[in-house]
Structure 1
Amino acid sequence: MNILKFNLDKIGISASLLCAIHCAALPFIMTLLPLWGLSFIANDWVEIGMIGLSLILGIWSLGKSFKLHKRTTPVIFLILGFGSIAIGHFSGLEVLEPILIPLGGLIIAFSHLINLKYLKKCRVNHIHQH
């Protein structure tokens, strides 16, 4: 069962980092995407899908893990990460968007790393208690 949780965190880290890279790099490579046949990457639905996937993985993984380690730190960072993304998208301040959205993705990845750390501690403590 713990293996599934570790995998969810690793998938969550990957999804969040991909989202951050996508959002940070997109303004710089927007003009080259059609030449490479990758113009679909600039589609709003791709971005929404990546954010949605990160959200689902984050809630699922951190929610299940919280039952074991009872630590709120990963959840707080998950909320901060999605808050940063939401402010970047909906604040209307276009100058902040390329900063806040990738930052949010990195914060979400960090929440999964913290979660992994707590899960490993739980597993080690559980082994030592038995």
Structure 2
Amino acid sequence: MSPQRLQWLDRLGAAGSLLCAIHCALLPLAIALLPSLGVAVLAGDGFEQGFVAFASLFALLVLGWSYRRHRALRALALLAPGLALLWWAVLYPPLHASTWPHALVMTTGGTLVGLAHWANLRLNHAQADCRACARGAC
């Protein structure tokens, strides 16, 4: 996969993860409004689990592919606890049933996943710079 495509995917992943964090932070306030707006599906368990599954698969594929290029664990070190928090908040019933603790854990997890994508983007950029310098392009 080309470095430009990896950078685009990391930017997409970071934006999606940060949107997830915003969604999780605002969800307790929006729960009362969503049914009246006709978009209650965004507060449903199925949507949340599907989004976490998609974000997990996407992040693991992109960061795993990038790791093969830069061999640095920094991005994966942010991703692992972020995904663990997201899955814990979605699958652990007592936490999932409580509004504010659930929102806090989901927001923290989404932020960590977004930061993992950002770190991966920086690592890929540094790797591309190193290769350009090795070719004498700097």
TM-score, normalisation: structure 2: 0.87
The answer to whether residue 129 in structure 2 is matched with residue 124 in structure 1 is: yes
Residues 63-98 of structure 1: per-residue CA shift (max 9 Å, x gap): 110011100111111001011223333172435212
The answer to whether residue 17 in structure 2 is matched with residue 16 in structure 1 is: yes
1:110 alignment partner AA: L
Where does residue 73 of structure 2 map in the other structure?
72
Q: Distance in 1 between matches of 2:45 and 2:133?
A: 49
Which structure 1 segments of 5+ residues have no match? Answer: none
Q: Distance in 1 between matches of 2:117 and 2:77?
A: 11
Q: Distance in 2 between matches of 1:55 and 1:71?
A: 19
Aligned identity (percent) is 26
Q: Which has the higher contact order (CA 8 A, sep 6+)?
A: 2
What is the Cα-based RMSD across aligned positions, in Å?
1.4
2:128 alignment partner AA: R
TM-score, normalisation: structure 1: 0.92
Residues 11-59 of structure 1: per-residue CA shift (max 9 Å, x gap): 1112211221222211111111122221111111111121112111111
Which structure 2 segments of 5+ residues have no match? Answer: none
